[in-house]
């Protein structure tokens, strides 16, 4: 196992191996979900983290995300799949307000019994939550959404299941957007390390 690679079960899992269980994350009305033939489709997200102190008690954390997709079916191949990774951080001085720090799209085909891996560009966040002066952004979670060539959601999972229940609103958020727990865009005055 690589240094800096952690695995924890639960919603904040650092590595995620999920057999398709789409019933756990129902999308909003209007977003179609198909499960036909996808029972042997699995996605795993690896989050490699390196953290260190900078400038006293300020912390800097760099994440390298990798999305691994595997087809366990010997006969069925999938073409025209589109995936998107979302990573977001919480403001240190304003709990419940998040910033979308990373969105990355990738297209791929998945042959029978095939695998696909996508390494995302690294993202760095800096923050200080100690003392009276709090500032910066602290990593809070991720989401991975995979759609087929027709636009139907074939996989959706992430750290915060409530965000995925409002998938249409969540997917409208762009990189750099600030939002709250209800996925409403927020106007904020940018602070240190933001």
Count structural domains, the chain. Answer: 1
Residue 10 CB partners (closer than 8 Å, separation 6+):
none
d(CA 107, CA 105): 7
Within a domain: 164 = yes
* pTM score of the predicted model: 0.73
pLDDT digits (tens, 9 = 90+) for 96-130: 999 999 999 999 998 888 888 998 888 888 887 77
- Domain hosting 70: range is 15-22+31-180
Residue 122 maps to a domain = yes
The CATH number of whichever domain residue 174 belongs to comes to: 2.60.40.10
Assess if residue 3 is contained within a domain: no
Neighbouring CB atoms inside 10 A of 167's CB total 21
Antiparallel, parallel or unpaired: β 58-71 and 78-91: unpaired
190 domain residue, yes or no: no
185, part of any domain: no
DSSP symbol at 121: P
| Residue 9 domain-assigned (yes or no) | no
In a domain, 123, yes or no: yes
What pLDDT digit, counting tens, does each position of 132-171 carry?
777 888 889 999 898 888 988 888 888 888 998 999 999 9
């Amino acid at each position: 196992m690589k240094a800096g690679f952690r695995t924890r079960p639960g919603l904040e899992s650092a590595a995620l191996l999920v057999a398709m269980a789409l019933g756990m994350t129902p999308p909003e009305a209007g977003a179609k979900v198909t499960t036909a033939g996808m029972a042997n489709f699995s996605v795993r997200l690896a989050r490699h983290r390196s953290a260190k102190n900078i400038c006293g008690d300020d912390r800097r954390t760099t994440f390298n995300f990798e999305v691994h997709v595997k087809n366990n079916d010997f006969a069925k191949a999938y073409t025209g799949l589109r995936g998107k990774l979302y990573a977001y951080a919480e403001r240190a001085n304003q709990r419940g307000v998040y910033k979308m720090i990373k969105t990355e799209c990738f297209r791929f085909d998945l042959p029978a019994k095939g695998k696909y891996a996508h390494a995302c560009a690294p993202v760095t966040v800096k923050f200080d939550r100690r003392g009276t002066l709090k500032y910066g952004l602290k990593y809070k979670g991720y989401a991975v959404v995979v759609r087929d060539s027709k636009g139907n959601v074939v996989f959706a999972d992430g750290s915060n299941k409530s965000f995925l229940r409002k998938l249409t609103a969540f997917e409208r958020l762009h990189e750099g957007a600030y939002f709250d727990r209800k996925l409403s865009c927020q106007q904020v005055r940018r602070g240190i390390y933001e």
